[in-house]
Chain A
Amino acid sequence: AQSVTQLDSHVSVSEGTPVLLRCNYSSSYSPSLFWYVQHPNKGLQLLLKYTSAATLVKGINGFEAEFKKSETSFHLTKPSAHMSDAAEYFCVVTRGAGKSTFGDGTTLTVKP
C-alpha cells in the first residue's frame, strides 16, 4: 500500500520569498515520487521527479525537492516565489503497474 500526505492545503507567500510545500509519503516499495503543478483549468505539468538517483532533484522554474528516506518526505522548495507560481501543486507517489497515488494538493498563493 502507498499513500501521500500533503501537509498544507493552502500556502501563502509574498513575491520574492521562499516557498516550501510539504509532502510525506508511505510506500511498501522503493517509490518514484513526483511533483506536478496545475494552473486553473489546465492539465498537470511535471515539475520534477525522484526515481532513486540523486536525493536532491532539480526541476523546472527554479523548483527543487529533496528525498529524505528517514523522514519519508519529499518537500518542494523554491528560493524566491514569482507571481506566476500561484497554482495547485500535487505530490504523487508511483510504483509499478501504473499505480499512482496523488496527494490532496496544496494551493499556493503569491502576494505582490
Chain B
Amino acid sequence: DAMVIQNPRYQVTQFGKPVTLSCSQTLNHNVMYWYQQKSSQAPKLLFHYYDKDFNNEADTPDNFQSRRPNTSFCFLDIRSPGLGDAAMYLCATSRASATGIFETQYFGPGTRLLVL
C-alpha cells in the first residue's frame, strides 16, 4: 500500500545534540510537509517542499532545517535541540496540480522526540 513512513517512531536525544528525523513516501507526491505537534495542541506547520522548492514558515525557529534529496525522502534536522523541542513531529505529503491546487494531505504516524 502506498503510504507515508516515518522512522524512528520514538527518538531520544540529549539537550544540544543534533538529531535528524526521517520521512519517506511511496505516493509519489510532489509536496512534503513537516509539522510539530506538542501535547494537546494542533499540529503546527514548520515548512514544506514543493518539489525542490523549500518554503519556510515565518515563525519556524532557525534551529529547524530540512532536506529533500529526492521525491521520496525528506529529513528534519534539529541542530541544537532544547527541552522545548520535545514534541511529536508529523510528516505529510500531498499532490499539487499544475494549476497550483494542493490536494489532500496524507500523514505519517509521527516521530515522538524526547529531549533529555
A interface residues (Cβ-Cβ under 8 A, vs B): 34, 36, 41-46, 49, 90, 94, 96-98, 100, 102-105
- Binary interface profile of B, 20-34, with partner A (CB < 8 Å = 1, else 0)? 000000000001010
In the complex, which residues 82-116 of chain B have their Cβ closer than 8 Å to any Cβ of chain A?
88, 90, 92, 94, 96, 100-102, 104-110, 112
**Complex CA–CA separation, A33 to B44 (angstroms):** 17
**Complex CA–CA separation, A45 to B31 (angstroms):** 18
> If the complex has contacts A42-B109, A43-B109, A98-B50, are A103 and B100 also in contact, measured as CB distance less than 8 A?
no
How many B residues face the partner with a CB closer than 8 A?
29
Are the CB atoms of A41 and B106 closer together than 8 Å? no
> If the complex has contacts A42-B109, A43-B110, are A90 and B104 also in contact, measured as CB distance less than 8 A?
no
Q: Does B42 contact A (CB under 8 A)?
A: yes
Q: Does B63 contact A (CB under 8 A)?
A: no
Q: Does B55 contact A (CB under 8 A)?
A: yes
Are the CB atoms of A45 and B41 closer together than 8 Å? no
Q: Does B18 contact A (CB under 8 A)?
A: no
Cβ–Cβ < 8 Å partners of B92 in chain A: 44
Q: Does B45 contact A (CB under 8 A)?
A: yes
Cβ–Cβ < 8 Å partners of B110 in chain A: 41-43
Are the CB atoms of A41 and B112 closer together than 8 Å? yes
Are the CB atoms of A46 and B106 closer together than 8 Å? yes
Cβ–Cβ < 8 Å partners of A41 in chain B: 88, 110, 112
- Report the minimal beta-carbon distance from A27 to chain B, rounded to whole angstroms: 14
Are the CB atoms of B42 and A90 closer together than 8 Å? yes
- Nearest CB in chain B to that of A36: its residue: B107
Leading 3 A-B pairs by shortest Cβ distance: A102-B42, A43-B107, A44-B107
- Report the minimal beta-carbon distance from B3 to chain A, rounded to whole angstroms: 10
